[in-house]
Amino acid sequence: MEYWRWSSRNKWTATVASIWIQCTSGSLYTFGIYSPLLKSTQHYNQSTLDIIAVFKDIGTNAGLLSGLLYTAVMPSTVPSPSAAAIGKVVGGPWVVHLAGAIQCFTGYFLVWLSVTGALPRPPIPLMCFFMFLASHAQTFYNTANVVSAVQNFPNYSGTAVGIMKGFVGLSGAILIQVYRTIFVDDPSNFLMMLALLATLNPLLLMSFVRVCPSSVGDDKKYLNAMACGMGSGLSTVNNISQIGESLGYSTLETSTLVSLWSIWNFLGRFGAGFVSDYLLLSRGWSRPLIMAVTLAVMSIGHLLVASGFPGTLYAGPVLVGICYGAQWSLMPTICSEIFSVLHMGTIFYTISIASPVGSYLLSVWLVGYIYDKEASIEGGNVCNGAHCFMLSFLIMACVSFLGSLVAFGLLIKDKKVL
């Protein structure tokens, strides 16, 4: 009994529980699996589908409420006996998990009812709200798990964030493999699986996630360059099924691409967190430098996709996925170093609004617009050939490179880094 009480309040147990929750929290990266079903059953064109995807991205990044809720239910940045007593009354990370679970089930269940015809075809704004609700749950899971991990391991915040954000990226591949194992190519069942699995898993494990007493880390200086890199990265994963379709890839190949994207996303998140910690502690290299380099490499990935050559749809997303994942590992760590750990969730998700803004501009006004224009020339709403996405990805390569230049500019401005 005593061992159980100790282990359930141990920061390593909390970390393991958080990792398991993160393994089912990245359902937004599986949009490519059910987006063709959404498009066909609701009679959407590509621009409308991209608008739905943008609201998914907004939900994933508009995490201000999750940050405020976490701050409200956590008594202090440095737990003490009195603070722990208050925490028992007020709540803890489990309250944030619970709020996320309610939204996750409600959102995906309503989308499932819509695509199966159990509900009359909802208006586009209502479907946007369903997707927003489902994806908004991830901000609550992320805030509870990431901020708790940083508070438990303040001296290794980069690695802690990298692990937590990494498993969110990997979860897309995990969810797809579970789907393929249980169901036979039925995206509607996949939506029901997301509604249940991504809800029940956090509910079962949330009581183990808690903040254990530890010391607080140090302070540093600043950055903000998310819209270019994350916006173009989200535009890639949102449209990857349609890119594969236009280049003649089979449904199995495009679903494999979505799954592989999650793996590269994981590697970028985990690798950037670990590498940035190592370079900062051993050589004094700042995290903004790593961000600038990854954004430059991301632009190369976009150029590969734009080329349309055989095999580049496998090679390009490798670079884009790794570099996109790196941004999600670096930014929370930078925010915690600037603004302290307690308010990390609130401030990071406020800055993260840049991501869906970039996604909206690049997905709807760039990728969707050009795709629909090319499709109309062919006399329908489906475009075939490398030209469908070539111009879009050339522009996104330029946008990513611009983000890299902005990051380098901020790096040079920071005298302490130099």
Could you give the domains of the chain? 2-413 (1.20.1250.20)
**CA-based nearest residue to 95, from 118, 112, 70, 129:** 70
**CA-based nearest residue to 192, from 177, 179, 174:** 179
Q: What is the pLDDT of residue 35?
A: 87
Q: What is the pLDDT of residue 123?
A: 94
355 vs 352: CA distance, rounded Å = 5
CA-based R_g, the chain, Å: 21
> Looking only at Cα atoms, what is the longest distance across the chain?
71
* pLDDT in 10s for each residue of the chain, 418 residues: 443 454 455 788 888 889 889 988 888 888 888 888 898 898 888 888 888 988 988 888 887 888 889 888 876 544 444 444 444 445 788 999 999 999 999 999 999 999 998 999 999 999 999 999 999 999 999 999 988 888 888 777 777 887 887 788 778 878 887 887 777 677 888 999 999 999 999 999 998 888 876 443 333 333 334 555 566 666 776 777 777 777 777 777 777 777 777 778 778 877 887 788 788 778 777 777 888 888 899 999 889 888 888 778 878 888 888 888 888 778 777 776 766 666 666 666 666 677 777 777 777 778 878 888 888 887 777 778 878 888 888 988 898 888 888 878 767 765 444 4
